[in-house]
Amino acid sequence: MFDFHTHKVKPDAIVAISPCDDVSSRVLYSVGVHPWMVADAGCDAWSRLDAVAREKNVVAIGETGLDKLRGPAISLQAEAFERHVSVSESVGKPLIIHCVRAYNELMSMRRRLSPSQAWVIHGFRGKPELARQLVDAGFLLSLGAKFNAATAMAIPSDKLLIESDDSDVDVASIYRSVAAARNQSVSELERSVDGTLQSLGISVD
């Protein structure tokens, strides 16, 4: 069962790291400067981001995003976010997004930038109405240990991913609870997530 977003180094997952971290383990990574860290990214993060993004086992860009409750000024976060968008577009890898109370800004950025790469909002906890709005606007949604059950039902199967993020909950149990909320079997959910991953150019074997 593939874990779309985690901060622990492990197989069958996308491990989110900063451009300062090393990518030598035989796992899949996403690379980005977390929105909380953009004012003080460390190392030579911004130039390293371009280089690390091209590594073969880096399959996505992020996490990046907008957080109105934490981190530096939202204008600074937005500037950093746009930088990640242009990296994602130039290397042809999807974007993994952290978004807290900034969905309108995020949707208007997507309209303005009209990216060709997929944008996936990770750890989505919003209500079904917001989920539908985001899916209509072209986003994919990844659910973690805490999610709204009605929302799990509302997300089309080809727009849905599953993750453990930084929780200690095993990803298998997240698959079980999302499958239960969607009235489907775990293996059906697993198949649809694998299909969604393939549509993002991420091959799972």
40 burial level (CB within 10 Å; 0-12, 13-18, 19+) = exposed
Site string for Zn ion, 45-84 (x = CB under 5 A): ----------------------------------------
Q: Looking at 15, 144, 165, 189, which residue binds Zn ion (CB under 5 A)?
A: 165
Closest residue to Zn ion, based on beta-carbon distance: 165
Using CB under 5 A, which of the segments 17-25, 76-84, 165-173, 194-202 binds Zn ion? 165-173
How far apart, in Å, are the Cα atoms of 134 and each of 96, 127, 165? 14, 11, 21
State which of positions 18-37 bind Zn ion (CB under 5 A).
Answer: none
Q: How far is the CB of 151 from Zn ion (least distance, A)?
A: 19
Q: How far is the CB of 52 from Zn ion (least distance, A)?
A: 17
Is 163 among the residues that bind Zn ion (CB under 5 A)?
A: no
Q: Please answer whether residues 34 and 19 qualify as being in contact, where contact means their C-beta atoms are separated by less than 8 angstroms.
A: no
**β-sheet bridge partners, residue 13:** 3
* Residue among 21, 8, 10 at smallest CA distance from 49: 21
First to last CA, the chain: 11
Residues that bind Zn ion (CB under 5 A): 165
